[in-house]
Amino acid sequence: MSKFKQQFLSGPYLIWIIGFILLPMAMIIYYAFTGSDGTPTLQYIAAIADETNRKALGLSLWLGVICTVICLVLAYPLAMILSNMHIKNQSFVVFIFMLPMWMNFMLRILAWKLLLSKNGVINSVLTGMGLSRINIINTPAAVVLGMVYDFFPFMLLPIYNALTRIREDWIEAAADLGAGKITIFFKIILPLSLSGIISGIVMVFVPSLTSFAISQVLGGGHVLLIGNVIEQDFMQGMQWNAGSGLSFVLMIFVIASMALVNSFDKEGEGTVIC
Amino acid sequence: MLKKCASRIYLFLMFAFLYLPILVLIVLSFNDSRSKVKWGGFTFKWYTGCFQDEKIMAAFVTTLQITFLSAIISTLIGTLAAIGIAAMKRKGQAIFLGATNIPLLNADIVTGISMMLLFVKFMDLGFVTVLIAHITFSIPYVILNVLPRLKQANISTYEAALDLGASPLYAFYKVTWPEIRPGVLSGFMMAVTMSLDDFSITYFTKGAGVNTLSTMLYTELRKGIKPELYALSTILFFAVLLLLLIGNVRPAKRSSERFDK
């Protein structure tokens, strides 16, 4: 088969791209920039400045940043410990830490709802020990906890992969040349794992910025993220133009934050997929 | 020594953080009491209840159908596309890979909504629209798993086979296929994983009557938690554990391939 003919094998995919990737994108942009009667308007893009929407977007960004930072702080030491383990079953230990990722997303949230609710498991343990209860269900704190639990593996994996690629010779060479442990960490380990950190940040920040299910279940309707506003526009209000406008703005924020994060990665290897 | 001790403690704490919630679900699934905190004795009744619950079973069957159909179709389209893309010139490759990145980089909620906007114009939302949506977001994972294998494969061996008189199909089956098979398999596995775990995109494209496990759980969670769901969680957890242990003699290899393509 010639190279020319071989290209035609991607024909079905080309149709798929046009029909189910590009066309839907065009639809959302069309709705975002037109009124319900079909006339062009910018009001639905500008609606992001309304108080509710602005607050929701601000809260989403804020919780997204907190969640990403917590994941990074928790995952980096764990990835270092895992990559430094010299036991026969290292791969099995790593597997243990990845396993919760394969559990259904909703079931993981269910577990936290169960733990955190007013008369839930954590509170009854606390009362049993004579301590005061914590009431964080239906607050942003519960939402962040749920996000951290859900997205933690997405931070752990890329960092762990980056760390295992650092060869021990390099660290030994640095030590032979007189570098202390701290110097080795900041001059060798951290820069060489940067691409992993950046992948991790993108893979945690984007879903936490745009999630709506976690805030709905663990926030009990009291925590309104931008995802919740969009979801309500579509599923309850039937305000497709308003929802598309906000989705478009959200898309811009996602692209901008990825561009910002990737600009720290000088070698350009830290994109989400590569 | 102190350092070793500290890292052991940290490992243990993270382990507890990841597994305590799951452990609580498992323990409660055997609890003969509707209370979340009182132990009312050992029972299997939530398990039998789970299998008799029509909603849960319907969602379970739909999930399996969607997952395997979408994984098979997306593996087919994706593998063919990867072979085609590999033969393209630089510019064509850039266009195709750019389009492939769109569903990967877009937020799930935006992908879901954009497809819903398209679907409602032409058909009723239901099983087929969910299936199309799942195929759409799975294809990129297949392509990104297969394409690197094709690039590593030596094209001269395929051409040599043709020169020696093999038909293109036979040469593909004998020469190219063995080289790309691991990529196709891991692409298929990732398509399965992504489809099983998806909530947002299904939520927007599913319409009224159809539910996968994720969307069924979401509706139930907003109403309150039924103990049958603990049983369901436990079954699914051990099913996944078993599948991964059987399917992965080298477990970490597969999990690291997920992002490391």
**Where are chain B's structural domains?**
54-222
Residues of chain A neighbouring B17 (CB-CB closer than 8 A):
149
Q: Which residues of chain B have pLDDT under 70?
A: 247-261
**Nearest by CB to A6, which of B84, B133, B197?**
B84
pLDDT for res A159:
93
**What pLDDT does B195 receive?**
92
pLDDT for residue B251: 44
Residue B248, pLDDT score: 63
Q: What is the pLDDT of residue B102?
A: 87
Chain A residues touching B244 at Cβ < 8 A = 95, 99, 102
Better-predicted residue by pLDDT, B185 or A123: B185
Is the CB of B105 less than 8 angstroms away from the CB of A227? Answer: no
Query: Residue A39: what pLDDT?
Result: 83
Q: Which residues of B touch A98 (CB under 8 A)?
A: 252, 255
The model's pLDDT over A95-119, given as tens digits with 9 standing for 90+, comes to 888 888 778 888 888 888 888 888 7
Is A27 a residue whose pLDDT tops 50? yes
- pLDDT digit string, tens, across residues A128-185: 888 878 888 888 999 999 999 999 988 999 999 899 888 888 888 988 998 888 898 8
Best mutation site among B15, B72, B106 for testing chain A: the one with the most A CBs within 10 Å? B106
Q: Which residues of B touch A231 (CB under 8 A)?
A: 109
- For the stretch A59-95, pLDDT in tens is 999 999 999 999 999 999 999 998 888 767 777 777 8
User: Looking at beta carbons, which pairs linking A140-145 to residues 24 or more positions away fall under 8 Å?
Assistant: A140/A59, A140/A63, A140/A219, A140/A223, A142/A112, A142/A116, A142/A218, A142/A219, A143/A63, A143/A214, A143/A215, A143/A218, A143/A219, A143/A223, A143/A225, A144/A63, A144/A66, A144/A67, A144/A70, A145/A112, A145/A116, A145/A218
Scan residues 152-171 of B and list those with Cβ closer than 8 Å to A: 168
Q: pLDDT per residue over A135-145, tens digit each?
A: 888 889 999 99
User: Per the CB < 8 Å rule, is A157 touching B251?
Assistant: no
- pLDDT of the residue at A271: 42
Read off the pLDDT of residues A36-63 as tens digits, 9 standing for 90 and up. Answer: 787 888 888 888 888 889 999 999 999 9
A204 interaction partners in chain B (CB closer than 8 Å) = none
pLDDT of residue B42: 84
Query: ∠ CA(B93), CA(B254), CA(A106), 5° rounding?
Result: 95
Mean pLDDT of chain A: 86
CA B121, B127, B128, B130 torsion-angle sign? positive
**What pLDDT, on the 0 to 100 scale, is given for residue A167?**
86
Distance from CA of B253 to the nearest CA of A (A): 8
Is residue A165 within a helix (H) or strand (E), and if so which, with residue range?
A: none
Residue B224 phi, psi dihedral angles, 5° rounding: 145, 170
Q: Would the pLDDT of A1 be above 80?
A: no
CATH hierarchy code of domain B54-222? 1.10.3720.10
Query: Out of 1.10.3720.10, 3.40.50.300, 1.10.132.20, 3.40.50.800, which CATH number does the structure's domain A40-102+152-262 have?
Result: 1.10.3720.10
* ipTM metric: 0.85
B176-228 pLDDT, tens digit each: 898 899 899 989 988 998 898 899 999 999 988 899 999 998 888 877 778 88
Percentage of residues of chain B with pLDDT beyond 90 = 37
Asked if B193's CB is within 8 angstroms of A102's CB, the reply is: yes
Say how far apart CA B231 and CA B210 lie, in whole Å.
Answer: 22
pLDDT given at position A270: 43
